[in-house]
Amino acid sequence: MFNFSKLTVPLIQAPMAGGINTPALASEVANVGGVGSFGFAYSTPQKISEDLLATKALTNGPINANFFVFSPVDLPTISIQEQAITSLKNLPIDGEPSISIPQAPFFPNIEDQLQPIWEHRPAILTFHLGLPPRSVMEKARSLGIAVGITATNLEEAISIEKAGADFVIAQGIEAGGHRGIFHPDQFDEKLTTIELTKRLVKGCSSPIISAGAIMDGADIARALKAGAVAAQLGTAFLCCEESGASRAHKDYLLTQQNRHSVFTKGFSGRPARGIDNQFIQLMENKPVLPFPIQNTMTAPIRQLAGQTNYGEYQSLWAGQDFKRVRKLKAKDLVLALKEELLIAQS
């Protein structure tokens, strides 16, 4: 099992899909004592292998490879499909994105995605949105790869323990990106990071990692005081020089201090927290297709907005406290977090 107590800085740079995690970002974090991560949710096996190889050349530190656990999904009725298409085509966006209903399969095959993991053997393998197949857990264990899975409540955490995971990631309601709840249509307790951490520490025997609204060393100290063995930070790293976040994404994080981060299903079909923008507002109460079909269908809109550096139609994932983000090199940010943690604990 991975020993988090041996980290120089008790943090995981969060996995963030869509090109935000880069070999430069992950390696810089790992080189100064944290865990660097990749969000491989939609990545091809070739891309996964390339990223891990590139990172291996830059660091001997611990790397975490993260994957989504997709649930089986079917297209809804033709009527609902047409309504969802119309909602997107009626958006007042410059240009003509090609919007159409995707064809099955609607998400990557996780067994194929994991082949490069078995070859390159990163220190940690994590999963988001549910439990992976038991065979995957057994394979990871046989190769000495530690496994962690996201939980948003105690019930999920207990099921993660029973499945044989090595640790649990406690994702508070403040966290940016996709909400890790196993069943998004069921009741969400919406626990804060610290409240959830305390519940999981009390109700589980596994090590707990706190995630959500952790932006500085004092936040890390609070998570450790609540019983976590480390903290996971995503939004804090978005404006790092090595981050692959789009120019508009970084600009909005640094300059749109009058906005808030909110949850939307409009981009992907699943609740995810990002900076409020025109797309989110216009898609409120509009019909959306199931996850990740909606994500595929909105991709041309996001890509067009990215080409023109227009943030109003990009998925600007960010946590509740994004206004505290810092524009630093990844190494300098980790060192600052380390110093702030030491001060908070003194």
- Does residue 251 register a pLDDT over 90? yes
HSE, CB side, 13 Å, CA atoms: give it for residue 34. 29
CA dist 43 → 66, 80, 107, 109, 300 (Å): 11, 28, 10, 10, 17
Quick check: pTM over 0.85? yes
Note the pLDDT tens digit of each residue in 47-94. Answer: 999 999 999 999 999 999 999 999 999 999 999 999 999 999 999 998
- Please tell me the distance from the alpha carbon of residue 27 to that of residue 312, in angstroms, as a whole number: 31
Band of pLDDT at residue 1, cut at 50, 70 and 90: confident
- Please tell me the distance from the alpha carbon of residue 331 to that of residue 336, in angstroms, as a whole number: 9
Cα maximum dimension of the chain: 62
pLDDT for res 25: 98
Q: For tokens 């660091």, name the residue.
A: 59
- Say which amino acid occupies 261: S
On the 0-12 / 13-18 / 19+ scale of CB atoms within 10 A, 112 is exposed
Q: Which of 169, 156, 91 has its CA nearest to residue 124?
A: 169
Residues 6+ apart with CB under 8 A from 127: 66, 67, 68, 69, 147, 148, 149, 150
pLDDT for res 284: 96
pLDDT for res 336: 98
User: Can you give the residue range of the structural domain that contains 33?
Assistant: 4-345
pLDDT for res 94: 87
- Give me the mean pLDDT over the 317-345 stretch: 98
CATH assignment at residue 320: 3.20.20.70
3-state secondary structure of 188: coil
- Does residue 96 register a pLDDT over 90? no
Above pLDDT 70, what percent of the chain?
A: 100
- Does residue 95 register a pLDDT over 90? no
- Please tell me the distance from the alpha carbon of residue 200 to that of residue 156, in angstroms, as a whole number: 10
Structural domains counted in the chain: 1
HSE, CB side, 13 Å, CA atoms: give it for residue 317. 26
pLDDT for res 151: 98
Read off the tokens for 299. 């991709």
Above pLDDT 90, what percent of the chain?
A: 98
pLDDT for res 42: 97
- Please tell me the distance from the alpha carbon of residue 303 to that of residue 297, in angstroms, as a whole number: 11
Helices 110-120, 134-142: axis angle to 10 degrees equals: 10
Band of pLDDT at residue 245, cut at 50, 70 and 90: very high
Average pLDDT, the chain: 97
Note the pLDDT tens digit of each residue in 193-215. Answer: 999 999 999 999 999 999 999 99
Q: Which of 257, 222, 252 has its CA nearest to residue 239?
A: 252
- Give me the mean pLDDT over the 23-34 stretch: 98
- Does residue 186 register a pLDDT over 90? yes
Read off the tokens for 9. 């800085």
- Give me the mean pLDDT over the 260-270 stretch: 98
Band of pLDDT at residue 252, cut at 50, 70 and 90: very high
User: Residue 203's CB: how many other CB atoms inside 10 A?
Assistant: 14
Q: Say how many residues make up the chain.
A: 346
